[in-house]
Amino acid sequence: MSMLLRRTSARLFGASLLVGMTLSGCGLTVQQKVALDQFSTATRDVSVAAQTEFRKSRQDVVEMNRLRVELGDASVDVSALDSLLTLDRTRDRIAALQALEEYGLLLKKLVGAVTGSELLEASHTFVGSLKQVKGIQLTSQEAEGIGRAVAAVGGVYVESKRAAAVRYVVDAVHTPVLTLIELVQKDFDPQSDFWSAGYRQTALALRGHAASIHVGMDDLASRQSVQRAKILAAENMKRLIAVSEHMTALTTTLREAQDTLHLVLTPSQLDVRNIELLAAQVREFKLVYGLLRNDGTH
């Protein structure tokens, strides 16, 4: 495992442990607020990065299929260049990730100096996003309970009320949050037949078709097109492997952190871990992803 992944694992795990130590008490200490803030930021950053990758990988598939058409691949459906990674499939995944992002945002605001109206808005947005995700079950009673717990915080910054709200929210949505994380894990798992499989299949089809084309030495334009297709297929496969490795590890760690955070909401004696590793790993991942996509946006 790379240093990046080790740091993410340690930070996510450490943050959840440290937060849990105070949630069983009256309020949140400065250290626990920092830990929960970093946990929520990491959750949001992982979600945003995955959303970006879903959108861009779909664009990659369209471009690869366009090149296949340009090179005369008759097996491509020109009316569905996004085949395997369709817009509907993309939207479903973005919806799940937005719910995960809103979860992180709600936790962040619960430990921040924000108004009661901002907390309620964050709560309503999160619950609304969660209800839009296919396969997620959230009853009306559970949704209303989250709203009541957040509303109880009010506009006054009372540590015990905020700690109680965090405890309620984490417990109420623990199963749905794990489901969200599992959905992301499946899509980025290189061994699964989900999102990554469709991307890989398209890249391999482009590479195979390009390799099957024989052009004369004097046909420079065709030779350049074939070479461009081979390079694109190779680059996309390399990036797919790298992104899948990082995202699989990050979501695995995120799941473990969420599990730990949920388990320590009852009184426990736990050792404080080095929470600084979490934010550093996620920041490093964002830089790595920006390099992999070569766009400088992360």
Express each pLDDT in 16-72 by its tens digit. 555 544 444 466 667 677 778 888 888 999 999 999 999 999 999 999 999 999 999
- Write out the residue range of the structural domain in which residue 171 sits: 24-291
In which residue are the tokens 């949001």 written?
44
Kindly report the number of other CB atoms within 10 A of residue 69's CB atom: 14
Q: How many domains does the chain have?
A: 1
Helical spans, DSSP H, in 75-115: 87-110
* Low-confidence winner among 12-16, 195-199, 238-242, 268-272 (lowest mean pLDDT): 268-272
So what's the pLDDT on residue 82?
92
Top mean-pLDDT range of 7-11, 13-17, 122-126, 247-251: 122-126
Q: How far apart are CA 106 and CA 100, in angstroms?
A: 10
Q: What is the mean pLDDT of residues 4-12?
A: 56
Q: What is the pLDDT of residue 229?
A: 96
Top mean pLDDT of 40-44, 93-97, 158-162 is at: 93-97
Which of 39-48, 185-194, 201-210, 232-241 has the lowest average pLDDT? 185-194
Q: How far apart are CA 161 and CA 164, in angstroms?
A: 5
Residue written as token pair 């100096």: 113
- SS3 per residue for 152-163: CCCCCCCHHHHH
Average pLDDT taken over every residue of the chain: 82
What integer is the mean pLDDT of 165-191? 89
Range with top average pLDDT, 32-41, 71-80, 244-253: 71-80
CB burial of 156-180 (b: ≥16 within 10 Å; e: otherwise) equals: eeebebbbbbbbbbbbbbbebbebb
pLDDT at 230: 96
Model pLDDT, residue 268: 35
Amino acid at 120: L
Please name the residue that has the structure tokens 């069983």: 24
pLDDT band at 266 (very low <50, low <70, confident <90, very high): very low
9 lies in a domain? no
Answer yes or no: are the C-beta atoms of 269 and 263 closer than 8 Å: no
The verdict on residue 233 lying in a domain is: yes
Q: 222 or 288, which is more confident? A: 222
Which band of pLDDT confidence, cut at 50, 70 and 90, is reported for residue 290? confident
Residue-level pLDDT at 48? 93
Inside any domain, residue 18 = no
Query: Among 181, 180, 206, 185, which residue's Cα sits nearest to residue 83?
Result: 206
CB 257 within 8 A of CB 11: no
The pLDDT, as a whole number, for residue 69 is: 96
- Are the C-beta atoms of 21 and 262 separated by less than 8 Å? no
Could you give the percent of the chain with pLDDT greater than 90?
A: 41
- Is residue 141 situated within a structural domain? yes
Query: Among 286, 281, 241, which residue's Cα sits nearest to residue 257?
Result: 281
Higher pLDDT, 235 or 41: 235
Alpha carbons 57 and 229: distance in angstroms, whole number: 16
Q: How far is CA 139 from CA 93, 105, 169, 252, in A?
A: 22, 21, 14, 27
CA 39 to chain centre: 13
| Average of per-residue pLDDT across 236-250 | 90
30 within some domain: yes
In-domain check, residue 226: yes
Are residues 183 and 96 in contact, defined by beta-carbon separation less than 8 angstroms?
A: yes
Asked if residue 4 belongs to a domain, the reply is no
For 67, counting Cβ atoms within 10 Å of its Cβ (0-12 exposed, 13-18 middle, 19+ buried), the class is buried
Residues in Cβ contact with 107 at an 8 Å cutoff, skipping those fewer than 6 apart: 36, 39, 40, 43, 166, 169, 170
Whole-number Å distance between alpha carbons of 175 and 180: 9
Confirm whether 255 is domain-assigned.
Answer: yes
Question: For 197-224, how does the pLDDT look when each residue is reduced to its tens digit (9 = 90+)?
Answer: 999 999 999 999 999 998 877 788 888 9
